[in-house]
């Protein structure tokens, strides 16, 4: 689990560090924070294009090799970002980082599916997906602790050093649950799976707003750059708590994880609506609520994929991750343009709307993908005892 969460964290750090430091990066390159957010969409381009084919490659390359290759690519992306001489070069670094994420996500899911008991999948995938809120937390803390005193380039360099540790954590033994295989997605489930991926895209458009524009929006409503960084970090911590808590509950209560995901998206929408008021206290509370619930569902999403696709977890994860990548691609671009054109309040209103659309779509898709019955849940609980 430590290997899965660390590789996942390192694969997304280029994106979340860039979003948290958008003000400082924009100042150096003489562009607006919204422009930096739009540039972050290049990370999603690589993830979107690469997730499905990379998910299929995990079965051929092996989980261990795939995880280490993902970490190596992430290190290259962070080093490229640290030495970027101009804004287009930083965009190229984010493109490379997206390739690491495209491989690391399905490989990490395959690792959890192979090494964790099915009775603990809820907690297992929650821990694995805690890399995202940890990246938000680290990105927010990086602003006052590293970027402001030492410069934003130093933050990327320190992160690249951390990738070495991630590579060393990948276990050599991958055969704890050898009964699980990695093959293609059954043809009868491909269309419903792509429907789920499309629904996830809308939810991610909303969720990505915190990492890409949360700090810059905080500065806009009156927070200092340092305080805005700490606020984003608090949102990341809240997201971590919700992800872990929902995973624990998923192992103990017989509910459909996709339905739970939809509920979290609705709760997150309330946070974005509060941020749209432009009142500092409401913005702070809203950001924490939005990130906690509106970005607290990926563990449930991956749990649903693992339970529904026991013989094709990596391949199915690659498809669902494509939906995440589309949201990451479209989200920062649309929201950055909205911020520049009509103002920051509209950014959060658009995010709230996207979260609600995503919730409705996920609920609709859940009915078209086989759901494990309560009997299966009870059997898994009995097996754990």
Return the domain boundaries, the chain: 2-170+184-384
pTM above 0.75, yes or no: no
At residue 375, what are phi and psi to the nearest 5 degrees?
-65, -40
**Tokens standing for residue 25:** 């990066």
Question: Can you give the pLDDT of all 385 residues of the chain as single tens digits?
Answer: 778 788 878 888 888 888 778 888 888 888 887 778 777 778 878 888 887 788 778 877 888 888 888 989 999 999 999 999 988 999 999 999 989 988 988 888 888 877 887 778 888 888 877 777 677 677 777 778 887 888 889 889 888 888 877 777 777 765 554 445 556 666 766 787 888 888 899 999 998 888 778 888 888 898 988 888 888 888 888 988 898 898 889 888 888 888 999 999 999 999 999 999 989 999 999 999 999 999 889 889 888 887 777 667 777 877 887 888 788 778 877 888 888 888 899 999 999 999 999 999 898 888 888 764 533 343 344 444 4
Q: What residues does 312 pair with on adjacent strands?
A: 182
Whole-angstrom distance, CA of residue 327 vs CA of residue 48 = 9
pLDDT at 173 (0 to 100): 61
Residue 281: burial class (beta carbons within 10 Å; 0-12, 13-18, 19+)? exposed
Whole-angstrom distance, CA of residue 196 vs CA of residue 194 = 5
Q: Of 274, 273, 249, which Cα lies nearest the Cα of 259?
A: 249
Residue 35 CB neighbour total at 10 angstroms? 17
The gap between the terminal CA atoms of the chain, to the nearest Å, is: 21
Question: Do residues 131 and 8 make contact, with C-beta atoms less than 8 angstroms apart?
Answer: yes
Q: What superfamily in CATH does domain 2-170+184-384 come from?
A: MFS general substrate transporter like domains (1.20.1250.20)
pLDDT at 8 (0 to 100): 79
Q: How far is CA 40 from CA 20, 341, 342, in A?
A: 11, 18, 20
**Tokens standing for residue 112:** 């959890």
Whole-angstrom distance, CA of residue 302 vs CA of residue 249 = 15
How many DSSP H helices and E strands does the chain contain? 18, 0
**Tokens standing for residue 57:** 């490659």
Q: How far is CA 177 from the centre of its chain?
A: 26
Whole-angstrom distance, CA of residue 73 vs CA of residue 251 = 34
Q: Of 208, 236, 159, 232, which Cα lies nearest the Cα of 44?
A: 208
């Amino acid at each position: 689990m430590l290997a899965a969460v660390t590789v996942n964290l390192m694969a997304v750090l280029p994106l979340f560090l860039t979003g948290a430091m958008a003000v400082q990066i924009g100042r150096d390159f003489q562009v607006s924070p919204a422009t930096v957010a739009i540039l972050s969409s290049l990370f999603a381009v690589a993830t979107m294009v690469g997730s499905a084919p990379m998910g299929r490659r995990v079965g051929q390359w092996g989980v261990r090799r795939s995880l280490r290759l993902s970490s190596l690519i992430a290190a290259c992306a962070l080093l490229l970002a640290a030495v970027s001489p101009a804004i287009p070069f930083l965009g190229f670094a984010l493109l490379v980082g997206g390739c690491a994420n495209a491989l690391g996500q399905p490989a990490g899911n395959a690792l959890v599916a192979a090494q964790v008991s099915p009775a603990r999948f809820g907690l297992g995938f929650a821990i694995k997906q805690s890399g995202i809120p940890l990246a938000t937390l680290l990105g927010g803390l990086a602003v006052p602790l590293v970027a402001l005193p030492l410069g934003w380039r130093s933050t990327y360099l320190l992160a690249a050093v951390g990738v070495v540790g991630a590579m060393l954590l990948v276990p050599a033994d991958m055969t704890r649950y050898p009964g699980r295989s990695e093959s293609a997605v059954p043809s009868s489930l491909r269309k419903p799976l792509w429907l789920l991926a499309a629904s996830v895209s809308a939810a991610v458009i909303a969720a990505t707003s915190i990492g890409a524009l949360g700090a810059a929006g905080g500065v806009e409503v009156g927070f200092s750059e340092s305080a805005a960084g700490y606020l984003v970090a608090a949102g990341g911590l809240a997201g971590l708590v919700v992800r872990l808590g929902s995973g624990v509950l998923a192992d103990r209560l017989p509910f459909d994880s996709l339905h739970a995901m939809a509920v979290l998206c609705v709760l997150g929408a309330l946070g974005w609506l509060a941020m749209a008021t432009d009142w500092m206290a409401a913005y702070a509370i809203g950001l924490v609520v939005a990130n906690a619930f509106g970005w607290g569902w990926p563990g449930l999403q991956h749990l649903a994929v693992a339970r529904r696709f026991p013989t094709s977890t990596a391949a199915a994860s690659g498809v669902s991750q494509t939906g995440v990548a589309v949201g990451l691609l479209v989200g920062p671009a649309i929201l950055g343009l909205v911020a520049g054109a009509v103002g920051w309040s509209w950014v959060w209103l658009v995010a709230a709307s996207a979260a609600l659309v995503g919730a409705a779509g996920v609920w609709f898709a859940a009915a078209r993908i086989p759901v494990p019955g309560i009997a299966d849940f009870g059997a898994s609980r009995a097996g754990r005892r």
